[in-house]
Amino acid sequence: MISLADITAAINHWLYATLPGWAALLVEAVIVGIAAITLFAVLGLVLVFMERKVSAYMQVRLGPNRVGPGGTLQTLADTLKLAMKEGLTPDGADKFLFNLAPYVVIIAAMLILAPIAFAKGFQIWDLNIGILYVSAVSSLSVIGILMAGWASNNKYSLLGAMRSGAQIVSYELSAGISVVSIVILTGSLRISDIVASQQDGWWIFKGHIPALISFVIFIIAVTAETNRAPFDLAEAESELTAGFHTEYSGMKFALFFLAEYVNIFIVCAIAATLYLGGWMPLHIGHWAAFNHVMDYIPSSLWFWGKTFFLIFVIMWFRWTFPRLRIDQLLNLEWKYLLPISMVNLLLMALIAVEGWYL
């Protein structure tokens, strides 16, 4: 069976055979860069369309259904509209920071794509501190948001940015501790190792209840980190009009919008990798026949299926729950999630030390 890993290996082999070493590396870097940017754009389009359809079905309506077959080209049309709009910079804004902010946010989102394993052997950069890198880079986006809020010279934006800062910095802790609890089990920060350790069962099943708790906490924390409802206080349409991106228009706004959706994809991909085995098919203990059948489903399909399931769950949150208040949001983190995840981490360490997982 041809896998994506074979294709990439073949391309790599052919490039190094035909070109000198440095040129081959350069060509590979360009190919990967173009692929990443394309993935980025396509993800944005698909996820926005998905969100509109999911919300439509939850809200007893049809959603976009005019542009293209089944409305699939609607987001493309919207993107074109945004691209043609004038990107205004308000009077009194800090022009440099104002224009820089969307790029900081989007670059932070783009960087995290690097260590994600999309399929078996299909990964841009399998660095040995993969998951630590993800945690580190994902917290960069808050700088872009604070920049946008501060530079807009708008009180609503400022409030939104301040909320966002408090929120992301707090929820980073719970998300980080949840990640650590899986790292304890796998003993490695490398994404490919984490996936490989789930060969005979996903951590959410193997890690007993502590893994389940840390999965739930991780999903809550990343929902907050990506500023999604019920934690969308940074945007909070009914309170702050549009929060930190109130003053942005045209493509600059589109970049924030795109970054939001790519961030959702990334956090769901990380959650799928840590808890649901990434591209690893569903394997149950010693059921050899069952495991063999599952292996026939391509690994990329497993990865995308799990990720989109989690994305759907996060969208489901958004269209069902009301928004929390800022003090409730911080209480939830500091009074509940953080203590629970710390105790959970100890339990997880106990499980790892005693080797109670399979």
Q: Which residues bind other proteins (CB under 8 A)?
A: 55, 58-61, 155-156, 159, 163, 229-230, 232-233, 236-241, 319-328
Query: At residue 116, what are phi and psi to the nearest 5 degrees?
Result: -75, 135
E strand or H helix at 152: none
* 193 vs 239, beta carbon nearer other proteins: 239
CB of 319 to other proteins, least distance (A): 5
* 199 vs 328, beta carbon nearer other proteins: 328
* 154 vs 178, beta carbon nearer other proteins: 154
CB of 293 to other proteins, least distance (A): 39
Those residues whose C-beta lies under 8 Å from the C-beta of residue 349, and which sit 6 or more positions away, are: 184
CB of 170 to other proteins, least distance (A): 15
**What's the count of helices (H) and strands (E) in the chain, helices before strands?**
16, 2
Specify the 3-state DSSP secondary structure of 206.
Answer: helix
Contact 171, 204 (CB under 8 A): no
CB of 62 to other proteins, least distance (A): 11
CB of 49 to other proteins, least distance (A): 18
DSSP states of 306-322 = HHHHHHHHHHHHHTTPP
CB of 205 to other proteins, least distance (A): 28
* 184 vs 330, beta carbon nearer other proteins: 330
* 17 vs 238, beta carbon nearer other proteins: 238
* 327 vs 354, beta carbon nearer other proteins: 327
* 239 vs 295, beta carbon nearer other proteins: 239
What whole-number distance in Å separates Cα of residue 34 and Cα of residue 173? 33
CB of 222 to other proteins, least distance (A): 18
* 106 vs 324, beta carbon nearer other proteins: 324
CB of 344 to other proteins, least distance (A): 21
Instruction: State the Cα angle at 156 between 151 and 159, rounded to 5°.
Output: 80
Query: At residue 51, what are phi and psi to the nearest 5 degrees?
Result: -60, -40
E strand or H helix at 26: helix 21-58
124-130: long-range pairs with CB below 8 Å, 24+: 124/32, 124/36, 126/190, 126/191, 126/192, 127/190, 128/188, 128/189, 128/190, 129/189, 129/190, 130/189, 130/190, 130/191, 130/192, 130/194
What whole-number distance in Å separates Cα of residue 226 and Cα of residue 271? 13
What whole-number distance in Å separates Cα of residue 139 and Cα of residue 141? 5
Query: Tokens representing 351?
Result: 């499980």
